Amino acid sequence: MLDSGGRIFSGGTHLMADGTSETSPVPAVARAGAILSALAEASGRPLTVSDLARQLGLPKSSTANLCLALEGERLIARVESGFQLGRRLVELGGAYLATMDQIQEFYAACRRQPNISRQTARVAVLDGLDVLYLARYDGTQPLRLTANIGDRFPAHCTATGKALMAMLDPRALDERLRGRQRLVALTDRSITDPAALRAELETVRERGYAVDDEETTPGVTCLALAVSGFRTDSDPFALSVTSVSSSLDDVLRAKLLAELRDVASSLSNPLLAADA
């Protein structure tokens, strides 16, 4: 879009009529940033090279070259009708989120727990029918075969995903599952029937926490609970703790769940964390 001075404005960057930035000493970087901003503002709608060139006032040939370079770095992804943001941005975003104060408090809260501090714990959010992992705490006995920061997994296979899906309004859940006759299986214990998933989510709501009973990785069990958000204006997220199934008896399960609730409380109320 144009500002009052006839300059192109996109995502905080002013571009002159020839596509260069007023402030950037490296015009190609400014142009690449403008392309990423334009794709972000498109909210998932693919944009063609012509769309981007026209919207940003850039030459079509240089726009095409920039898109090829961004695609090569997985910062954008080619779809049939154009380009969308790429998965590499999620990975970079996960690395950035690991530096945020709330994420640091998650790590600190995990270290304070006598049992979780020996396990693997994570923070995840729901994105469509996937969960996206924002943070991972590795205790003194970490499990290496579990999701890392920036990874996506089918929500119905994971404890974090089921905890978050259980919070959805039934109509929102129906919309996400629309047209799904069968869900993907990661192990032979994964839920694949949408009706069975709905029944499982009802159990999660009644029980107050979700379980991944070797549905993502054989021999590994995960417990999770959903939290409203780091702040009142943020999306719900889920906290999980993962353990080897053979060592997760009823006593350890109860301890881990109690500690998960303590971590959730410290993240929901910063005053509790400050007093810890």
Asked if 125 and 132 count as a contact pair (C-beta separation under 8 A), the reply is yes
H-helix or E-strand containing 82? strand 82-85
pLDDT computed for residue 104 by the predictor: 83
Average pLDDT score, the chain = 84
Alpha-carbon gap, residue 248 to 254, rounded angstroms: 10
- pLDDT single digits (tens) 143-158: 776 778 888 999 999 9
Once rounded to an integer, what is the mean pLDDT over residues 38-52?
91
Once rounded to an integer, what is the mean pLDDT over residues 49-76?
93
pLDDT computed for residue 4 by the predictor: 33
Tell me which amino acid residue 38 is.
A
- pLDDT single digits (tens) 220-261: 999 999 987 654 445 789 999 999 999 999 999 999 999 999
Once rounded to an integer, what is the mean pLDDT over residues 12-30?
57
Backbone dihedral angles phi then psi of residue 273, each to the nearest 5 degrees: -65, -40
pLDDT computed for residue 269 by the predictor: 55
Exposed, middle or buried by CB within 10 Å (0-12, 13-18, 19+), for 63? buried
Tell me which amino acid residue 165 is.
M
Number of H helices, E strands in the chain: 10, 10
Share above pLDDT 70 across residues of the chain, in percent, rounded to a whole number:
83
pTM over 0.75? The answer is: no
Residue 200 vs residue 101, higher pLDDT: 200
**Is 123 a residue whose pLDDT tops 80?**
yes
